[in-house]
Structure 1
Amino acid sequence: MKDAFDQWSEWENKLLQSELAIPVEIWRPISRLSIEDRLVRQKVNEAVARHKEPDVG
């Protein structure tokens, strides 16, 4: 199974005419990372995991 980093990388590097999509639950937290952090598997996967955690409070 592909992790968030793999899904993001495939989507980010897709051909322009490709209809490949990723869920907003993956796109949103990664798009908020710096360009440099988007290249680090651990940071990408952690950002997505944090985004999926329920809000407490």
Structure 2
Amino acid sequence: MDAFDRFWQWADKPPESLLTIPAELHRAVMELAPEERRDPAAVNQAAARVPDPER
């Protein structure tokens, strides 16, 4: 699953869901213009610039 899929799975989750995403991913996507958030390439590119917290 890529960052685009991960973000939209979280964004479209039901209110009672406990699904989470890293704050860094959320921040990177939310910095995009609203129309860019629906562009898989733009979302994945923004996410690629986020440091991996597990490294």
The amino acid that maps onto 2:24 is E
Tell me the CA shift for residue 51 of structure 1.
2.8
Matches of residues 31-46 of structure 1 in structure 2 within 5 Å? 31-46=30-45
1:47 & 1:33 partners in 2: Cα distance? 8
1:26-56 CA-partner distances (Å, limit 9, x unpaired):
111101111110000000000111233xxxx
The amino acid that maps onto 1:22 is I
* TM-score normalised by structure 2 residue count: 0.85
Specify every segment of 5 or more residues in structure 1 that has no aligned partner in the other structure, as ranges: 53-57
Provide the aligned length of Structure 1 versus Structure 2: 52
Three-state SS of the structure 2 residue aligned to 1:20 is coil
The amino acid that maps onto 2:18 is E
Q: Quote the RMSD (CA, aligned, Å).
A: 1.4
Percent sequence identity is 39
Three-state SS of the structure 1 residue aligned to 2:34 is coil
1:41 & 1:26 partners in 2: Cα distance? 14
